[in-house]
Chains A and B, each alone.
Chain A
Amino acid sequence: MNVKNNWWKFLAVIIMLYVLLAGMLIPMKSGIYGVDSISLIASKNTVIEVEGYNANYDKAKEFRAWIKFDSSHIALAKAVSVKNYNKAVLTFDLNVNLPGTGDVLPATLIIDNEIDGYAIFPEGLVVTRNASAADIPFKHATLDDLHVSEGIKFPYMNILHETIRNTFFHVAIWMAMFLLMTVALIYSVLYLWKPRLSYDHHAYSFTAISLVYGIIGLATGAVWARFSWGAYWTNDVRLNMAAVAVLIYFAYFILRGSLEDGDKRSRFSAAFNIFAYLAMIPLLLVIPRLNDSLHPGVGGNPAFSGEDLDNTLRMVFYPAIISLILFGVWIAQLRFRVFQLEEKHIDKINSGSPLVE
């Protein structure tokens, strides 16, 4: 094997091994898995039991907790009793004038200790106001000296938990698919511009591998949806539009199958490929953004941007995309070489004699 010309194949394998190892083995940060009751009634001793994930509450010396209503109303827990490594009972004095006007108000729970670092339960609590305490002033505590856990760890997010690792496979494979489909589109345009058979074969090869990627993308998404949304298939806009896009590309192969070999087939499938690609753009990029979706970035869901896609995730996510693109090119090239061999031995194939004697 010629190493000089095939270095990128080695690169693809090495990066994929890195993605698999790092993506699966790097631990999660500590987080708040849940609380015993999300609705609290404000009183002198409001008690809440918090359950942590990847936590070391029993080893921590400095355990602090806050309930945050808004940036100028943060209440510090007056007592913390640790039950075991991942359970602690927090007591707050909420018999004060709470901010806002409604009877119930959302609040965020924040805990911090020096081993696990800080953890947030965003907007996870609902506090019922104690109307008789309206004249007792709020004792505001600042969030200071928050600890950050040491070492390389993936961020912990509620609902997602460990499934955040699927970012490296599910999201990366859709991105790789988009790039490979664009390559197929370019070959289709090239064919219409200059009808060379190799362009048509390349377009077919790249479309085939991107369809496989699309199906894997749907499958990895289904697994992820089962664990974070509760069902393999949901009514989500982006999910359904992705399925339609995959159906459109199935139609490409049906079209190729129904036409006979030759220039006409190449021309028609090139034209259909361009049409399908342009029909797919509104499906995957425009419509989902205008509708409520369970996917990140729309309808109030956390987007994978800014602090959510943090540097530790990026460290694995970008290599994953590169590796999947390289694998896609590799597989497309193999398919293309099958075409070349078929062309070379077309007489033998037609006469039915064996290719290898």
Chain B
Amino acid sequence: MGKILQLIKKELLLELRNKYALGSILLFGVSTVFVVFKAFNQFSPMTWNVMFWVLFLFISTNAVLKSFTQEKGSQAIYLYTLLNPYNVIIAKMIYNLFFLLLVGIMIYVLFIYFSFDPVVHLGLFILDIGLVAYGLSVIFSFVSAIAAMENNSSVLMAVLGMPLVLPVLLSGIKISTIALGITVDSEMNTDLLLLFAIDLMLTGVVIILFPVLWKS
């Protein structure tokens, strides 16, 4: 547990030291939201919902992309000899989860700033962002571990990751239509549970499979 916390701290330090990384994500977010806002001029809650998730997907892809590319060559070998792979992947997933949650809330705030706030059930909406961020962080951590071993990493990661995140994203969109008051659904709890179950299952698989990737 202590090792995991240390690893999360290391990730955070690397992030903060690399100021352009955080700045680029912020700039990416602001400019895409601005373009979308200018293109639509007027949002309906439905378009708001769609654009929110599309931007969330693309910005988070870029945000997590570098997850395993920071450690290269000798540094990776050093970490490999030093650390237990389980600790590494759990730390990455936790760090990415909080990072993506922040990205999601950042996009939400930008959307409110540029257009309006259609969210009816705020708690549900934040929970939804959290669950989707959890799913995306698990899948992207796994895929970026694969992609980092290859040189053409960004393309490979997008190709491998996009189909895998679809179930998580589609469930998330379905829940957020409820949070935005577009639809009323009595089976909302089932959807939330399903999304959480998918997240948990993927977490388990990634934790089991990661040592295989880590060896190289």
A-side residues, CB < 8 A to B, are 192, 241, 244, 247-248, 250-251, 254-255, 258-259, 264, 267-268, 270-272, 274-276, 278-279, 282-283, 286-287, 290
Contact = CB atoms under 8 A, between A and B. Distances in A.
26 contacts: A192-B209, A192-B212, A247-B162, A248-B163, A250-B163, A251-B163, A251-B164, A254-B160, A255-B160, A259-B150, A264-B149, A267-B215, A267-B216, A268-B149, A268-B213, A270-B212, A271-B146, A271-B209, A274-B205, A275-B164, A276-B164, A278-B205, A282-B194, A282-B198, A286-B194, A287-B170
Interface string B145-168: 010011010001001101110110
B216 A264 contact: yes
A279 B167 contact: yes
A278 B138 CA distance: 14
A282 B190 CA distance: 13
Nearest to B187: A290
Interface in B164-202: 164, 166-167, 170-171, 187, 190-191, 194, 197-198, 201-202
Contact of B201 (A247, A251, A278): A278
Given A267-B212, A271-B209, A271-B212, A287 B171 contact: yes
Contacts of B198: 282
Contact of B194 (A247, A250, A290): A290
Contacts of B205: 274-275, 278
Contacts of A278: 201-202, 205
Contact of A282 (B142, B191, B201): B201
B206 interface: yes
A188 to B, nearest CB: 10
Contact of B146 (A241, A268, A282): A268
Contacts of B159: 251, 254
Nearest to B170: A287
B194 A275 contact: no
B170 to A, nearest CB: 8
A251 B198 CA distance: 20
Interface residues of B, number: 30
| Interface SS, B side | helix
Instruction: Output the residue of B170, B187, B215 with the most chain A CB within 10 A.
Output: B170
Given A267-B213, A274-B205, A290-B187, 7 more contacts: A192-B209, A248-B163, A250-B163, A258-B150, A267-B215, A268-B213, A282-B167
A63 B34 CA distance: 72
Contacts of A244: 163, 166-167
Contacts of A254: 156, 159-160
Nearest to A270: B212
B150 to A, nearest CB: 6
Contacts of A279: 164, 167, 202
A255 B159 CA distance: 9
Nearest to B142: A275
B167 to A, nearest CB: 5
Contacts of A259: 150
Given A192-B212, A279-B164, A290-B190, A272 B201 contact: no
B131 to A, nearest CB: 14
Nearest to A254: B159
A259 B160 CA distance: 13
B167 A287 contact: yes
Nearest to B206: A275
Contact of B156 (A255, A267, A274, A282): A255
A136 B212 CA distance: 79
Contacts of B162: 247
B209 to A, nearest CB: 5
Nearest to B190: A290
Question: 6 tightest CB-CB pairs across the interface, nearest first?
Answer: A247-B163, A248-B163, A271-B209, A244-B166, A251-B160, A271-B212
A255 B194 CA distance: 28
A268 B167 CA distance: 22
A272 B160 contact: yes
Contacts of A251: 159-160, 163-164
A247 B170 CA distance: 15
Contacts of B202: 275, 278-279
A20 B36 CA distance: 54
A200 to B, nearest CB: 13
A275 B209 contact: yes
